[in-house]
Every structure is written in C-alpha cells, then in structure tokens.
Structure 1
Amino acid sequence: MIVTLIVVCEVGFWVLLAAGLATRYLLKMPRTGLALLLCEPLLEVLLLVVTAIDLKNGADPSWRHGLAALYIGYTVGHGHRTVKWLDGHAAHRFGGAPPPVKPPRYGMARARHEGTVWLGSVTAAAVASGLLLLAAWYVGDDGNTESLRSWIFVAWRAAGIHGLIALSYAIWPKKAPKEAPEHDPGKTREKAPGKASAVPARDPEDVPDLLVGRPREDEEQVR
C-alpha cells in the first residue's frame, strides 16, 4: 500500500504541476494556477499521514516506510527548484516573459551553483532523517526499528556522494572552450617581411633597346 501511494503521489505531483501551469498561462487564470501549485505539499502530507497510520495499526517497519521518508525529504529539498524551473519556461513559452537565465556552466560560478543544488540534498537527508527518527520513536522499543534507522544511512550516503560531485567542480573548475579566431575573407594576405621578390628589379638602362622601344645608334646616324 505504501509503495502504491508513493507512485500515486509522484504521478499526482506532475499532474498538479501541469494543471497549475496550464491554468496559469493558457487559461490566463494566475490565481487558480498558483492555488493548484500550492497543493503540491498536500501530497507529501497525505503520504506522511498514511505511513503513520500504517505503523500505528501494527505494521512492521520496513523498507517501504523508509522509502516514503526519503521521497518526502527529496520533495522538500528539490521540489521547489523543479517547480520554479518549469514555471520559468512556461512563462517564457506562453506568457511572453523573457527566457529564464540558464545556470552557469564554467568556472567557480558553476561550482557555486552545484553547491546550492547540493544544499537541497542535505535538506532532503535532514528531513528524511527526522521523519525516520520520529517513526522509530513512534514505534517504540517493542518494534523492529532497525530497518528505519538503516535508511538514515542511505539518505546521508546519497547526500555525501552528491557533495563529492559538487566539490569536484570547485577543485577542478570546468574551463570554457576557447573561441576560434574570426576569419576575414576580405583581408588580403600581407607579404612576409624580409622576403625578397622572386624576380629582381632591373635598371631600364640594362634592358636591350629593342625590348624598350628605343632607336638604335646606327638608325639615329642614318636619320
């Protein structure tokens, strides 16, 4: 039942998101669309309540309850960024707004961006850990809470791996590709300096008279 509800919540998240954006920008009803978007957290609250009821009814804590806690934590840590990203693209595509600013791709700016995203994973791990500890306390010492506590390690291990990936962008910043030099087809190629011409210049006096059209001396005497 818990796994089925997680799937239903995930599908409902995207259905509400699509309905909210369509109502806000296609139907030109921004308040109604915003109200639909604000209903997103109710899905996580529903999942939390059902999980608590399942434990209260005597269900043994299992990986299903741990997965539910991780799902709620992930939605809290990263859900708002997903909604904001899609809302910006919808506003540009259907609302005439300027295109959303793309995240940086190179240098320390990319490292800071990755660090911000990693903070979302830390938030997700913290929320999931809090829910799992609360569930373990709710079950008490009489129940088997080891499966719940093991998911706390899973949550922080995922956040740690993400943190190492984000840290790599700060240690080895990604460099921007070098721009190719512009080619000017109208620019003539300059002659290489210090290079002599293939045909040396000659003094006109050294050129035979017949080639330059000057009368020979014997013709001048006849005249």
Structure 2
Amino acid sequence: MGTRPRPATLWGAALGLAGGAAVAAWAWTRLRSRDVPPAACPAPAAAATATDQGKGHSKQILVLGLDGAGKTSVLHSLATNHVKRSVAPTEGLHAICINTEESQMEFLEIGGSESLRSYWKMYLPKVLLLIYVVDSADHARLPVAKQLLHQLVQNNSTLPLVVLANKQDLEGAYCITDIHDALALSDIGDERKMFLIGTHVAEDGSEISSSMKDAKELIVQLVLEAQ
C-alpha cells in the first residue's frame, strides 16, 4: 500500500461501493437545507422508542471507530461547520443533534477504547446508518479496525455504511483506495449502500474542509432517503 501524500484538493473524493465493486465517483443532488444549531438530544433509550413508534422525525446515526480516530472532532465539525481538534477522548456515549429543515439527525458516538467496544453492537438495531471512522495514518491498527467493522456488519446485510478515512492531511496517511483494501470493503455485503470518503479536520476555529461538507451532504441525503 502506498503512503505517498496526495494534494489536499483530493481529500474530498469518495468511492461509492455497490455490489463489492468500486466506482470512480459518487453524485447526488446537492442539498440546500438551512442548518439549525445543534440541539440537546433526548436520552438514547427515549429517542429509540420515539423512532420505533414513528413519533417525530428523529433519525439515529451510530458513529463508531477506534479510540483516536477523530470521531468527536468529526462530529463537532458536522454539527457546527467549524473545526475543534483539541477534544478529550469519549469515555462513554456522546449524543449530539444536527437539525435541518427536513429532519433532526441524532448522532450517537460510543468511545472506541477496548473496554467499550463490546457495547457497540447493542445500538446497531436502533439506527438507520452506521458511520465508521478510521485513522488513515494509524497503519498498525487498521487490521483491528477491519476486524471490528466486519464483526459489526456481518449480521445486518442492509444497514447503510459510511466509512470516513480520516486524518488524510497527515504525512503517510493511506489514500482512500488503500483504506478500501486495508478494510476489505469489497467483502462487506452486496445489498447495502456503502460509501468511503477521505476526510480531515483543519485548524481549530476554521471552517470545515470541502471533504467534511461532502460527508455531511451524503449523510443528510442517506437520512432523507430512509424517511
């Protein structure tokens, strides 16, 4: 696998994966939804009950990945459209809501330390989308990230999956095609919607990168399609 750096303009590129075959690009109608500031989310159990009963338009999205992959920074970027890199590791569950004119999306992040990974599967039956974040520069732990991802999705062949190959701005980070191979994404089901996007968060306080904007638009589109 190559570790050569790529121009920053390419980090927003994505591979749409269907039937195990990678296509060169993905496209959808760009949304013009007005973002609403993040809101306090209901407790996870209450939110799941409301979703099951069809009350409201809350859509739960599960955000997983190894500790240090950048899940919390990614969530902050998606919620506020600004970067905050210096965040403490998530020790339990972190919930944040992102509102658009079409729907309210509830993101549930569970910490990625070894002691918390056994809880990941408990939340899968209640969500409509899985976001899996990997550190593209952490080569040594990609096999672990691969194993855990495959274990997560092996019993659900239709759950949509968005893999964020994060930290693409770091020297030595694998490009998205290398991440695709390292995670063996071609082996993960033929029926599910699956996307791989290269992302990074820029300097603190700056606006989010084009790759993060692309990821946000994709997530919103998938949620709308699931309604």
TM-score bracket, normalised by the shorter chain, equals under 0.3
- Structure with larger Rg: 1
Which structure has greater strand proportion? 2
TM-score (norm 1): 0.25
TM-score (norm 2): 0.24
Larger RCO (CA within 8 A; separation ≥ 6): 2
Which structure has greater helix proportion? 1
